[in-house]
């Protein structure tokens, strides 16, 4: 007989509470009346949940009490560790709260090398027990969803009318989620046929290694890639929960295998190789296949884990004949979400404000947002939004109906507060840390996904060829509004860092793709002026996408891009291909260049996602023969010496001999002899004449050809990067197409001396070849000519594609820079040859601050100065034809110019010239506009970029043909020598009173090694130009390089022709100890210092 102290108060409690009050931990009277008082006041739906009291298992018999002995096995080039199958490590419950309470890990089951990595992953992961048929499911597995049209709703509605409204009143709340009776749960969980089959299947999977995982460091590396690249774009899992479950070893094996599959897709190549993986595709397939087997065996009973894993498996790309493709897995995930507690249709999401009544507690006075009683509201909302985004992207990419209709959903828009995490993660180095741009990206991508649905619904329904004018205008306004409301963190022009460029780039690719989709019908049918005008919008969007691709390629971000990037690049490729077929001349060449850039982007994505080549095969087969042939480039060369082909490149069709044409040898990998042979695919452009390969007679000026005659718009045949990228997927398509597609891909790296140099009349035959592994510098003959004359011309330094890339970038800069943010600064020199004879050398703040920016300087004749009528300068010509030069940090701010400038080839040339630490300090495009391109007076570069002692050397690259007719360079041979007055006697510096000025040089006048040469006597001539001096006018072609000594006199006349003369020039100085860059120079180094050529990797 129990005794109770009469003085001790007895706590009374309600027998049951509704889900809303239970979540708030407040008193509920739902047993007396429904809805309860709290729900009636707040307007919330009042539902009685299922009590878990006494229903979870008190003990579990482990069929393997000692677990599975840890064993190491080598599988496909990497080691895995068998999982300890201690059933206690994975409670039969699918609910994480139960896992945490019931889980214990026996220390004797841990592997000897197992250690706690601060929240990292252990290689002993949980395994479901085959001997536990009565597995308790999570809360979401105990409910079923019936929509408004279900007859069941009319039965329960009768007893759920508002008491205040009476019998004929309106229903206070609708509900579409019903608890499954407990007897049904027990009956379904104990059904012997399912239970026995599941037990046998689990045993089989354990023998097959489906529950095996790599060692902890490898898992951590793959999870780090997952949370760095994938999770910010699709926060399908809760970072804190995953960190905790990995640490406690309670994470679902199905979910972990799926996450490792994504991590293997997006991690760096070096990290994958260091982990022992030799082939990315096989690594991905291993994790994918394990996750697929676990799902097919119905081993996972936690619906949330299944839902998350199915979403991740939808990123598997297979062939068109495979049923379990992207839409299969995504459809399964959506179906599970629609029928379970995670309803995508009519989700239980609402804001509930609790007002004070009577005696209030602090908790009752709070404004609570209740979205569901079974999971964190932010996680659920992010989960539903991820499904919505992915479904719209996949449906639009395949041209198939979306499974989620906006009309059936009331999913609210995400807010930044929805991404706040509850508690810290175990190891931020692995699981990452949330950033502002992560939440902003998800919010803006959600908005774009809903706009995508509207665009497709408006323009691409069956029987609807194009949208109505009013609908197109409405959608265009909404797109413009989206761009105007874009937060600064995701604006493309402000995305200077690598991390922000990744999110801003992918976001703007999706944005431009909407313009392409909206106006593509008009572009395909330019039958009237309105359609032609609208069609240009699609072309402009494709061009903008290509520029983003180029920027992302320069920062190695495309490889980490997600799957929807493939669709957007392919969409731009189709527009450029059509534009190529319609255009002529320069416009046609630009379209060709952009199309090849898109193909290069697809090639990079192939590294991560094993691009579906059968789509591209269809694409190329749809083209006419001449267009497909014109897009072809030379095949890539063999790998570098000492490198071995990847396992992917060595993959043959022996394992799948019947998937191509029945011949197992049809798709075999080329032999080493074939790989070492260069196969040139001739394009339709003019071929070099036979006479061109013969030695040319010696001209007055000495010129060397680095690469021999170049075919128009044909890049070099060097490999990309250190490892060859195999494009042959024999199980995807025929060998013939793999060769054809491989020939479509452009090169963005530079000529590294692999091709034979065309012998010059004065060059010895021994200098004909260069190393394939390292770029060569100057030959002895070239160096002697440069030292003697002060300049050197190298023919064909840039390929035609490289030249076209720089020209395209230049024109894009001229077209898109806003006049409002750039003053009309005129570039004047103050010399007598200036058209503005009363002006000084440009020296305003806009000019002085251009060292780390891209600024635009106008021709004096293109700008009218202020007068009595106009108080501000005004343009006399279109801005594209009014620019004198663009500078002075193109090499640091523009990826195409950066690739051409900071290259190993230029570093090798600088080493030949004696540089120990060459630094590029400025770069610019000199436009020389037709008719008004201003003259540049005789000058020495070291006067403007002075070091003590002088060390400047200029790289001057013609982007257009330049000769005597359109103001080419004029060189005074030997004027850098001291005996010809090559001393630096004046310098261009910042004036103390502001602006710039020339001062007398009080430092060394000649570079180191030339000090012994005497300076001739000259009077009143600081430039050192002798009267009557003849400057030799160089005749150069696009792509030719002119190396200019910093002490040599050179100039260019005014361009009086009707042809422009674009040239790219950058200057290099010595940054090693012993050379001093003067602090008085007009150009001062940025905080990070001048760019080092020796750091170049390409």
The answer to whether the beta carbons of residues 941 and 1034 sit under 8 Å apart is no
Residue 649's alpha-carbon distances to 668, 768, 850, in angstroms, are 10, 32, 47
Task: Give the SS3 label for residue 1045.
Answer: strand
pLDDT in tens, 862-916: 888 777 677 677 888 888 888 989 998 999 999 899 999 999 999 999 999 999 9
Query: Does position 27 have pLDDT exceeding 90, yes or no?
Result: no
Q: Ranked by mean pLDDT, which of 46-50, 605-609, 919-923 comes out on top?
A: 919-923
The answer to whether the beta carbons of residues 475 and 467 sit under 8 Å apart is yes
The answer to whether the beta carbons of residues 160 and 18 sit under 8 Å apart is no
> Residue 957: pLDDT band by 50, 70, 90 thresholds?
very high
HSE-CB at 57 with a 13 A cutoff on CA atoms is: 21
> Residue 366: pLDDT band by 50, 70, 90 thresholds?
very low
pLDDT average, residue stretch 603-623: 71
Would you state the structure tokens that stand for residue 1050, as one six-digit string?
Answer: 């050179």
Sign of CA dihedral 1075, 1080, 1082, 1084: positive
The answer to whether the beta carbons of residues 1014 and 978 sit under 8 Å apart is yes
Residue 1048's alpha-carbon distances to 11, 832, 979, in angstroms, are 98, 20, 12
Which has the higher per-residue pLDDT, 459 or 361?
A: 459
Q: What's the pLDDT score for residue 737?
A: 35
Q: What's the pLDDT score for residue 949?
A: 92
Q: Which residues contact 731 (CB under 8 A, 6 or more apart)?
A: 319, 653, 656, 659, 660
Task: Give the SS3 label for residue 148.
Answer: coil
Q: Which of 247, 237, 253 is nearest to 287 (CA)?
A: 253
Sheet holding 1050-1052, edge to edge: 936-939, 1050-1052, 969-971, 1032-1033
Q: What's the pLDDT score for residue 156?
A: 58
Q: Report the distance separating Cα 166 and Cα 186, nearest Å.
A: 39
Q: What's the pLDDT score for residue 461?
A: 79
> Residue 929: pLDDT band by 50, 70, 90 thresholds?
confident
Which has the higher per-residue pLDDT, 823 or 4?
A: 823
* DSSP string for 189-257: HT-HHHHHHHHHHHHHHHHHTTT-EE-HHHHHHHHHHIIIIITTT---S-HHHHHHHHHHT-S-HHHHH
Would you state the structure tokens that stand for residue 644, as one six-digit string?
Answer: 């071995």
HSE-CB at 181 with a 13 A cutoff on CA atoms is: 3
Direct distance between the N- and C-terminal alpha carbons of the chain, in angstroms, rounded to an integer: 88
> Residue 637: pLDDT band by 50, 70, 90 thresholds?
very low
pLDDT in tens, 719-743: 333 333 333 333 333 333 333 433 3
Q: Residue 378: which H helix or E strand, with range?
A: helix 377-398
Q: Report the distance separating Cα 300 and Cα 293, nearest Å.
A: 11
Q: What's the pLDDT score for residue 612?
A: 54
pLDDT average, residue stretch 161-188: 53
> Residue 751: pLDDT band by 50, 70, 90 thresholds?
very low
CA dihedral 717, 718, 724, 726 (to 10 degrees): -10
Q: Report the distance separating Cα 1047 and Cα 983, nearest Å.
A: 7
Q: What's the pLDDT score for residue 828?
A: 66
Which stretches does DSSP call E strand in 782-933?
A: 791-795, 854-858, 863-864, 874-875, 883-888, 918-926
Would you state the structure tokens that stand for residue 975, as one six-digit string?
Answer: 């004027």
CA dihedral 1053, 1056, 1059, 1063 (to 10 degrees): 20
Q: What's the pLDDT score for residue 480?
A: 93
Sign of CA dihedral 747, 749, 750, 754: negative
> Residue 427: pLDDT band by 50, 70, 90 thresholds?
confident
The answer to whether the beta carbons of residues 492 and 508 sit under 8 Å apart is yes
Query: What average pLDDT does the chain have?
Result: 71
pLDDT in tens, 380-417: 677 778 888 898 888 888 888 888 887 777 677 877 77
CB atoms within 10 A of CB 881: 17
pTM as predicted: 0.51
Q: What's the pLDDT score for residue 148?
A: 66
pLDDT in tens, 771-814: 345 677 899 999 999 999 999 999 999 999 899 999 999 998 99
Beta partners for 793?
703, 1042
Query: Does position 377 have pLDDT exceeding 80, yes or no?
Result: no
Would you state the structure tokens that stand for residue 520, as one six-digit string?
Answer: 């593509």
pLDDT in tens, 249-280: 889 999 999 999 999 999 988 898 888 888 88
pLDDT average, residue stretch 349-356: 34
Query: Does position 853 have pLDDT exceeding 80, yes or no?
Result: yes
Query: Does position 1081 have pLDDT exceeding 60, yes or no?
Result: yes
User: What are φ and ψ of residue 888, in 5° steps?
Assistant: -130, 20
Least confident of 47-56, 218-227, 541-550: 47-56
pLDDT average, residue stretch 537-550: 93
Query: Does position 843 have pLDDT exceeding 80, yes or no?
Result: no
The answer to whether the beta carbons of residues 241 and 113 sit under 8 Å apart is no
Query: Does position 330 have pLDDT exceeding 80, yes or no?
Result: yes
Residues in the chain: 1098
Q: Which residues contact 695 (CB under 8 A, 6 or more apart)?
A: 759, 760, 761
Q: What's the pLDDT score for residue 192?
A: 54
CB atoms within 10 A of CB 387: 26
The answer to whether the beta carbons of residues 601 and 553 sit under 8 Å apart is yes
The answer to whether the beta carbons of residues 284 and 264 sit under 8 Å apart is yes
Q: Report the distance separating Cα 127 and Cα 297, nearest Å.
A: 13
Least confident of 564-578, 726-740, 986-1000: 726-740
Q: Report the distance separating Cα 363 and Cα 439, nearest Å.
A: 29
pLDDT average, residue stretch 745-751: 33
Burial (Cβ within 10 Å: 0-12, 13-18, ≥19) of residue 455: buried
Q: Which of 138, 179, 145 is nearest to 55 (CA)?
A: 138
Q: What's the pLDDT score for residue 1058?
A: 85
The answer to whether the beta carbons of residues 466 and 526 sit under 8 Å apart is no
The answer to whether the beta carbons of residues 1046 and 956 sit under 8 Å apart is no
Query: Does position 42 have pLDDT exceeding 50, yes or no?
Result: yes
Least confident of 452-461, 608-617, 697-706, 994-1003: 697-706
Query: Does position 208 have pLDDT exceeding 50, yes or no?
Result: yes
**Percent above pLDDT 70 for the chain:** 62
Q: Which residues of 578-611 are buried (b: 16+ CB within 10 A; e: fewer)?
A: bbbeeeeeeebbbbbbbbbbbbbbbbbbbbbbbb
Is CATH 2.60.120.620 the classification given to domain 780-1017+1032-1095?
yes
* DSSP string for 765-820: GGGS---SSS-----HHHHHHHHHHSEEEEET-S-HHHHHHHHHHHHHHHHH--GG
Q: Which of 516, 62, 426 is nearest to 224 (CA)?
A: 426
Helices (H) and strands (E) in the chain, counts: 31, 26
Q: Which of 1096, 1045, 1067 is nearest to 752 (CA)?
A: 1096
Would you state the structure tokens that stand for residue 639, as one six-digit string?
Answer: 């790998």
The answer to whether the beta carbons of residues 210 and 293 sit under 8 Å apart is yes
HSE-CB at 896 with a 13 A cutoff on CA atoms is: 26
Q: Report the distance separating Cα 971 and Cα 909, nearest Å.
A: 21
Q: What's the pLDDT score for residue 221?
A: 94
pLDDT in tens, 662-717: 333 333 333 333 323 333 333 333 333 333 333 444 444 444 443 333 333 333 33
The one-character DSSP state at 139 is G
Sign of CA dihedral 851, 854, 858, 863: negative
């Amino acid at each position: 007989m129990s005794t109770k102290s009469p003085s001790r108060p007895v706590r009374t409690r309600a027998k049951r509470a509704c889900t809303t009050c239970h979540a708030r931990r407040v008193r509920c009277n739902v047993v007396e009346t429904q809805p309860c008082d709290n729900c009636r006041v707040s307007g919330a739906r009042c539902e009685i949940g299922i009590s878990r009291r006494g229903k979870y298992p008190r003990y579990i018999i482990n069929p393997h009490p000692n677990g599975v002995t840890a064993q190491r096995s080598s599988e496909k080039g990497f080691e895995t560790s068998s999982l300890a199958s201690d059933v206690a490590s994975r409670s039969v419950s699918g609910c994480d709260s139960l896992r945490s309470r019931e889980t214990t890990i026996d220390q004797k089951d841990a592997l000897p090398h197992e250690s706690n990595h601060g929240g990292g992953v252990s290689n002993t992961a949980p395994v479901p027990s085959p001997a536990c048929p009565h597995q308790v499911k999570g809360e979401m597995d105990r409910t079923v969803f019936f929509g408004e049209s279900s007859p069941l709703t009319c039965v329960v509605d009768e007893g759920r009318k508002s008491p205040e409204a009476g019998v004929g009143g309106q229903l206070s709340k609708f509900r579409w989620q019903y608890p499954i009776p407990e007897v049904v749960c027990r009956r379904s969980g104990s059904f012997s046929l399912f239970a026995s089959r599941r037990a046998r299947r689990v045993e089989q999977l354990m023998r097959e290694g489906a529950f095996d995982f790599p060692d902890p460091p490898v898992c951590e590396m793959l999870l780090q890639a997952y949370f760095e690249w994938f999770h910010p774009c699709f926060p399908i899992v809760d970072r804190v929960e995953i960190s905790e479950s990995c640490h406690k070893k309670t994470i679902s094996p199905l979910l972990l295998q799926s996450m490792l599959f994504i991590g293997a897709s997006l991690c760096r190549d070096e990290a994958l190789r260091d982990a022992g993986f030799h082939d990315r595709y096989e690594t991905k397939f291993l994790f994918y296949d394990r996750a697929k087997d676990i799902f097919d065996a119905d081993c996972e009973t936690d619906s949330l884990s299944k839902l998350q894993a199915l979403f991740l498996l939808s990123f598997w790309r297979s062939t068109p004949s495979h049923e379990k493709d992207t839409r299969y897995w995504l459809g399964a995930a959506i179906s599970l979400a629609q029928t379970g507690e995670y309803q995508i249709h009519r989700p239980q999401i609402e804001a509930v404000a609790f007002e004070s009544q009577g005696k209030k507690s602090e908790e009752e006075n709070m404004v609570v947002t209740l979205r569901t009683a079974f999971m964190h509201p932010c996680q659920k909302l992010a989960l539903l939004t991820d499904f919505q985004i992915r479904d719209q992207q996949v449906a639009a990419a395949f041209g198939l109906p979306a499974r989620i209709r906006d009309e059936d959903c009331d999913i609210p828009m995400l807010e930044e507060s929805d991404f706040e995490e509850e508690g810290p993660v175990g190891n931020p180095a692995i699981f990452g840390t949330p950033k502002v741009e992560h939440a902003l990206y998800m919010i803006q991508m959600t908005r774009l996904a809903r706009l995508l649905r509207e665009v497709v619904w408006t323009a691409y329904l069956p029987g609807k060829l194009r949208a109505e004018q009013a609908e197109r205008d409405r959608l265009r306004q909404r797109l413009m509004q989206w761009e105007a409301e874009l937060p600064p963190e995701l604006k493309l022009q402000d995305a200077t860092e690598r991390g922000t460029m990744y999110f801003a780039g992918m976001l703007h690719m999706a944005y431009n793709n909407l313009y392409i989709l909206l106006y593509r019908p008009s572009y395909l049918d330019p039958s009237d002026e309105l359609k032609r005008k609208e069609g240009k919008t699609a072309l402009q969007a494709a061009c903008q996408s290509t520029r983003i691709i180029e920027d992302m390629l320069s920062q190695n971000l495309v490889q980490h891009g997600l799957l929807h990037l493939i669709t957007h690049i392919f969409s731009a490729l189709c527009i450029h291909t059509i534009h190529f077929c319609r255009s002529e001349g320069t416009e046609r060449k630009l379209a060709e260049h952009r199309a090849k850039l898109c193909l290069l982007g697809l090639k990079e994505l192939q590294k991560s996602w094993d691009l579906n080549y059968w789509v591209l095969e269809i694409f190329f087969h749809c083209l006419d023969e001449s267009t497909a042939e014109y897009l072809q480039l030379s095949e890539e060369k063999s790998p570098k010496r000492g490198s071995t082909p990847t396992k992917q490149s060595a993959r043959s069709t022996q394992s799948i001999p019947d998937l191509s044409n029945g011949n197992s040898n049809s798709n075999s990998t080329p032999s080493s002899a074939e790989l070492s042979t260069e196969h040139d695919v001739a394009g339709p452009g003019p071929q070099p004449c036979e006479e061109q390969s013969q030695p040319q007679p010696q001209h007055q000026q000495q010129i060397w050809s680095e690469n021999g005659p170049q075919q128009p718009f044909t890049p070099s045949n060097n490999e990309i990067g250190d490892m060859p990228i195999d494009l042959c997927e024999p199980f995807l398509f025929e060998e013939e197409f793999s060769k054809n597609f491989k020939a479509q891909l452009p090169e963005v790296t530079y000529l590294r001396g692999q091709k034979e140099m065309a012998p010059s009349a004065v060059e010895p035959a021994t200098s004909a070849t260069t190393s394939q592994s390292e770029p060569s510098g100057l030959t002895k003959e070239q160096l002697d000519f440069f030292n003697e004359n002060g300049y050197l011309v190298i023919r064909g330094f840039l390929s035609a594609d490289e030249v076209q890339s720089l020209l395209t970038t230049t024109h894009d800069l001229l077209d898109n820079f806003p006049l409002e943010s750039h003053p009309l600064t005129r570039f004047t020199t103050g010399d007598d040859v200036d058209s503005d004879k009363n002006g000084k050398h440009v020296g305003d703040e806009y000019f002085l601050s251009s060292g780390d920016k891209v600024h635009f300087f106008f021709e004096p004749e293109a700008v009218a100065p202020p007068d009595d009528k106009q108080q501000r300068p005004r343009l006399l010509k279109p801005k594209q034809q009014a620019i004198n030069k663009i500078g002075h940090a193109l090499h640091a701010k523009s990826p195409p110019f950066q690739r051409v400038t900071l290259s190993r080839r230029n570093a090798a040339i600088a080493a030949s010239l004696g540089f120990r630490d060459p630094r590029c300090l400025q770069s610019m495009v000199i436009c020389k506009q037709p008719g008004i391109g201003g003259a540049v007076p005789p000058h020495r570069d070291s006067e403007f970029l002075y070091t003590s002692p002088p060390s400047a050397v200029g790289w001057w690259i013609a982007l257009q043909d330049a000769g005597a007719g359109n103001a080419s360079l004029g060189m005074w041979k030997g004027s850098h020598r001291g005996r010809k007055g090559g001393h630096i006697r004046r310098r261009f510096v910042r004036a103390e009173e502001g602006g710039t000025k020339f001062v007398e040089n009080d430092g060394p006048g000649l570079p180191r090694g030339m000090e012994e040469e005497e300076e001739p006597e000259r009077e009143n001539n600081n430039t050192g130009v002798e009267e009557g001096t003849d400057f030799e006018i160089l005749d150069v072609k696009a792509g030719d390089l002119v190396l200019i000594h910093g002490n040599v006199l050179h100039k260019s006349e005014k361009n009086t022709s009707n042809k422009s003369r674009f040239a790219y020039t950058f200057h290099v100085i010595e940054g090693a100890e012993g050379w001093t860059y003067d602090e008085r120079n007009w150009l001062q180094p940025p905080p990070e210092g001048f760019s080092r050529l020796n750091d170049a990797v390409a």
